[in-house]
Amino acid sequence: KNQVEQSPQSLIILEGKNCTLQCNYTVSPFSNLRWYKQDTGRGPVSLTIMTFSENTKSNGRYTATLDADTKQSSLHITASQLSDSASYICVVSDMEYGNKLVFGAGTILRVKS
């Protein structure tokens, strides 16, 4: 069964610190990998989309990396802010099933002052 697993499940960091969230997947073949940010009480919002041929993509203080050989991705947040507190969801597009999106369970990040 195709899976997307994220770690850690939750994370607490101090404002201003950096952090890295991990995503391991078994979906194959895949067409793209996405990271979404979901604030409490809101819908997920896209941060980055990477195709299988891309290694890194940045969106402000967010940088996503992808290693298609090891089937791993990471989301690095630099100089965290209180507004970064949210759930971060890794999503892989399953090419074999018409690009059906396979969602990870998410990492809950809390940034403390």
Q: Which of 15, 24, 63, 103 touches other proteins (CB under 8 A)?
A: 103
Q: Give yes or no for residue 99 binding other proteins (CB under 8 A).
A: yes
DSSP structure string for 18-62: -EEEEEEE---SEEEEEEEEE-TTS--EEEEEEETT--EEEETTE
What residues from 20 to 79 belong to the interface with other proteins (CB under 8 A)? 31-32, 34, 41-46, 49, 51
Q: Which of 73, 106, 107, 109 touches other proteins (CB under 8 A)?
A: 106
Residues in the site for other proteins, rule: CB under 8 A?
A: 31-32, 34, 41-46, 49, 51, 89, 93, 98-101, 103-106
